[in-house]
Copies of this chain bind each other. A is one copy, B any other.
Amino acid sequence: MNTVSAEAIGELQSMLKEGQVSVNQTEREQRSRDESYHKESLPDVVVFPESTEDVQKIIITARRHKMPVIPFGRGTSLEGHVIPYNGGITVDFSKMDKVLEVREKDFLVRVQPGVTRSQLNKVLKKYGLFFPVDPGADATLGGMAATNASGTTSVRYGVMRDQVRDLEVVTADGTIIHTGNLAAKSSSGYHLNGLFVGSEGTLGCFTELTLKVYGIPEAILAARASFPTITSAVEAIVSILQAGIPIARGELVDEASMKQVNLFSGTGYAEKPTLFLEFHGNGAGLKQDVEFMKAIAEECQAEQIDFETDNASRTQLWEARHNLAYAYIHGYPGKKMMVTDVCLPISELAGAVEHSKVHLDALGLAGGIVGHVGDGNFHVLLMINMDDPLEVQQAEEFNERIVMYALERGGTCTGEHGVGIGKQKYQEKEHGAAYEVMKKIKRAIDPEGLLNPNKLV
């Protein structure tokens, strides 16, 4: 640790309470990595703010000493967002974990950034409400807003950005701003809500979020449909979408991944390319939608369609799907996970999945294809041995091939995981001249570049 850091840490200790500032090696190591294959790097210090004012003090101190500031939620990111490659201060939001207000009649909640999505849903259930965005991991809402997370339900309810009505943010100079308001729509001023969501800690630290929530639907029905090939499964979901059937979830799990699901979750599902679907609505409408969906799936060669109406079987089904990433990690001890994350216009999805499948099979690495195919977003999960440089290189090349395929067809290199450090090399290619505009915005709002430096832009 250099003198600058030591001085800054001393100041932080004098400003905050005992237990709010830690230079303990274990604490720092826990915030030196995420859930992906990206290389670790230690912060100089970990701080645990308890209020917006604490965050403000931390950022002003960091600025005075020109130290990087890296916000940290639960460390579930997949592209290295939270790894402090330039050292500095990791701001751990685990002590800012209160649900501050439920505005039941307005379908709004106000939360601190450290609240996790399952924690919020537990509170909301009492009101007959729920928060839909579901990235699989039990991430914090602050982290989910920072990466514009989405997941299984976005095909119906939208992504994180669609839920944010207002953010309280501490910016680089320690100013506290609000990016929005409580109204359902506004044409007032520039759309800072949209800009700050997905900014990955590079424009400010979120200290409060006001989010849209939804009434628990009158009727919910889940279905599993298995297909002879991954292509027929993708064609089925595309046809269902194009028929205008309002699905609430539309997930693809390939054969290899169904095996992992059964191994890890103890389920006995058919080990075939499978669509996991869900429908939300009123009883009568749902019945009509599901009949129509069934007819389309059968036309697309569905071999078996099972429905789950009761709460327990539905929960089991979605838990199995959610545990898939952990199933792979658990199934391949010692290996690290690399996940591709492209998203394409729906007409290009079947081709993209087919292309990935061919190259994945040729690669010969352990892995599978899963995805939020209702949005045109899919992942290839690859388990790689980080000590084998050839394997790492092959995996990187595979990832790049998939990204290039998507970019050439109007897609994006990341549908939901974010840029972090993993997708930086594609930013110029994807955004062209607009990348310069992004850099201008970063320089205007964080002129010294201290907020999560060298991430995103």
Contacts and interface: CB of A to CB of B under 8 A. Distances in A.
Interface stretch (A25-33, A154-162, A300-308, A361-369): A154-162
A231 interface: no
A252 interface: no
Interface stretch (A15-23, A36-44, A47-55, A436-444): A436-444
A435 B175 CA distance: 12
A181 B412 contact: yes
Given A182-B345, A184-B375, A284-B287, A195 B198 contact: no
A175 to B, nearest CB: 5
B410 A187 contact: no
B194 A419 contact: no
Q: Which of A282, A286, A377 is the most central at the interface, judged by chain B CB atoms within 10 Å of its CB?
A: A282
Given A187-B147, A443-B444, A181 B285 contact: no
- For the side of the interface on A, what is the size category? 35 or more
A423 B189 CA distance: 10
Interface string A239-271: 000101000000000000000000000000000
Interface string A281-305: 1111111110000000000000000
Shortest beta-carbon contacts, A-B, top 3: A285-B285, A194-B194, A182-B410
Contacts of A149: 187
Contacts of A182: 344-345, 409-411
Interface in A368-416: 375-377, 406, 409-416
Contact of A418 (B187, B287, B415): B187
B185 A416 contact: yes
Contact of A415 (B187, B244, B377, B409): B187
A375 B192 contact: no
Interface stretch (A5-13, A101-109, A111-119, A325-333): A101-109
A171 interface: yes
Nearest to A412: B186
A164 to B, nearest CB: 11
Interface string A168-185: 000100011111011111
A434 interface: yes
Contact of A433 (B162, B176, B419, B427): B176
A177 B433 contact: yes
A191 B410 contact: no
A417 interface: yes
A437 B439 CA distance: 15
Contacts of A148: 185-187, 191
A209 to B, nearest CB: 15
B346 A436 contact: no
A199 B190 contact: yes
Contact of A284 (B191, B194, B242, B288): B288
B434 A189 contact: yes
A197 B191 contact: yes
Q: Which of A188, A289, A433, A442 is the most central at the interface, judged by chain B CB atoms within 10 Å of its CB?
A: A188
A431 interface: yes
A181 B411 contact: yes
Nearest to A416: B187
Contacts of A155: 184
A376 B105 CA distance: 12
